[in-house]
Amino acid sequence: MNTAPLRCLLVDDEPLAHTVMRAYLDRLPGLVTWAGSCYGAVEALTLLRSTPVDVLFLDVDMPELTGIELLRALPQRPAVVLCTAHAAHAIDAFDLGVVDYLLKPIPFERFVKTISRLHAGLAPAATSAPPAATPPVPAVDSIFLKTDAGTERVRFADLRIVEGYGNFVKCHLASGRVLLTAETMKQMESQLPASQFMRTHKSYLVNLSNVERLSGNVLLVGPREVPVGSTYRQEVLRHLHLR
């Protein structure tokens, strides 16, 4: 397994993607290092001529030159991970030999798996020297949420209830704050650990550690009452070890 930090370059025209990815990389010291960031494929072409890069995190839909067109233009490529909101590019991507394909919004846990795979796949030639210890991968303990005020890191332990709210969700925190984000309930459920959070209703996810009482079809979560839908009742009972 490769033990040297991987030099990573991000190419994406969305500022939020840079904020989130930089935060993810900063949480993995010893495994990855920041080689630079570009907001377009043409800029990346110039940078790659002079900057050694191990891994290219690449968006697909960009102005002037798409990520796929950039890959086809590179005579020599580092390991490439496509980061896109559209699954339709997968066939083109794997035809071009990408290492991984990440769908936005990218959960940190999924990002860590990609980095682990890259370290295993970019191993140097074997030598007689014993391998150095691999830095431990930190446990995933939080999620990044985009709000009107910017991108905010929320620890799982501080998140009590996720509530569907039209095209948005409300995240109720232990402090009493409520964050409104454009994530969907399905996206939130996929990014929260199933060992910690459960779906109780089509419009509610709750933190199991904050459940105080089940009364009929109502859960008391902290100071709030949350409904239990008939579709989810048996699963709720199972999570609470009541059946």
> Which of 80, 103, 121 finishes a domain?
121
Distance CA 83, CA 10 (A): 9
| pLDDT the model gives residue 57 | 96
Over residues 94-116, mean pLDDT: 85
- Statement to judge: residues 22 and 111 lie in one domain: yes
Distance CA 219, CA 197 (A): 13
- Evaluate whether residue 127 is within a structural domain: no
Distance CA 5, CA 186 (A): 34
Task: Provide the number of structural domains found in the chain.
Answer: 2
Structure tokens at 196: 């910690």
Range of the domain at 47: 6-121
Single pTM value for the model: 0.52
pLDDT per residue as tens digits for the range 174-220: 999 999 998 888 888 888 888 889 999 999 999 999 999 999 999 99
DSSP per-residue codes, 73-93: H-SS--EEEEEES-GGGHHHH
* Averaged pLDDT of the chain: 84
- Statement to judge: residues 96 and 186 lie in one domain: no
pLDDT per residue as tens digits for the range 123-169: 433 333 444 444 444 456 788 888 888 888 888 999 999 999 988 99
pLDDT per residue as tens digits for the range 22-45: 999 989 988 999 999 999 999 998
Residue 119 burial (10 A CB sphere; 0-12, 13-18, 19+): buried
HSE value, Cβ hemisphere, 13 Å, CA-based, for 155: 5
What DSSP designation does 1 have? -
Residue 220: enclosing H or E segment and its boundaries? strand 218-221
- Evaluate whether residue 134 is within a structural domain: no
**128-133-135-138 Cα dihedral, nearest 10 degrees:** 130
Distance CA 164, CA 205 (A): 9
